[in-house]
Amino acid sequence: MKNIIFIGMPAAGKSTIGVIAAKRLGYRFIDADILIQEKEGKLLREIIAEKGIEGFLEIEDRVNAEIDTENSVIAPGGSVVYCENAMKHYKEIGTVVYLQISFDIINSRLKNAKNRGVVLKEGQTFKELYEERTVLFEKYADVTICEDGLGLEETADRVVDRLRGLL
């Protein structure tokens, strides 16, 4: 296994758990949202405001599909599951880990989805977005880790234990 790619809802802990997992496994950590911001010279919410959802997803698809790395933990944005090229690329270069979390917990963690740069269609509720993405997360996941009832360290322990069995 060359890489580990975390997928899941915004505020599921992809970056936080990703950094911990990378340290424990001796891997590099890559935050794909930061790469997008660096390449575009703008915050995610600014890109969405300027280019719209479709324009943002095109950028997200391209940047994620261009990541060329080995022995890395990659944390893309939650909307990457809408990006076919990126997800095909990720399935080829590593193991996709879905950080699964209940709607109630994610909703309490995420105070303002728009400020966070979450891709919400006009009139779409956060609950509808959660339900729509859950299907895609399950489709692409090689490994699913349920975070409900776990603290940060416990989640990281569970992730690393499962991945060590695959390494």
User: Residue 59's domain is classified under what CATH number?
Assistant: 3.40.50.300
pLDDT at 112 over 90: no
Give me the domain span that covers residue 99.
Answer: 3-164
pLDDT of residue 113: 59
- Across 5-9, 18-22, 36-40, 151-155, least confident range: 151-155
Determine the average pLDDT of the residues in 11-30: 93
Please report the DSSP string for 93-158 in residue order: HEEEEEEE--HHHHHHH-S-TTTTT----TT--HHHHHHHHHHHHHHH-SEEEE-TT--HHHHHHH
pLDDT of residue 84: 95
pLDDT of residue 1: 55
Which helix (H) or strand (E) element contains residue 46? helix 44-65
Q: How high does pLDDT run on average in the chain?
A: 90
pLDDT tens-digit map of 73-108: 999 998 999 999 999 999 999 999 999 999 998 888
pTM here is 0.91
Determine the average pLDDT of the residues in 120-132: 87
pLDDT of residue 28: 96
pLDDT tens-digit map of 27-37: 999 999 999 99
pLDDT at 165 over 80: no
Domain count, the chain: 1
pLDDT of residue 63: 97
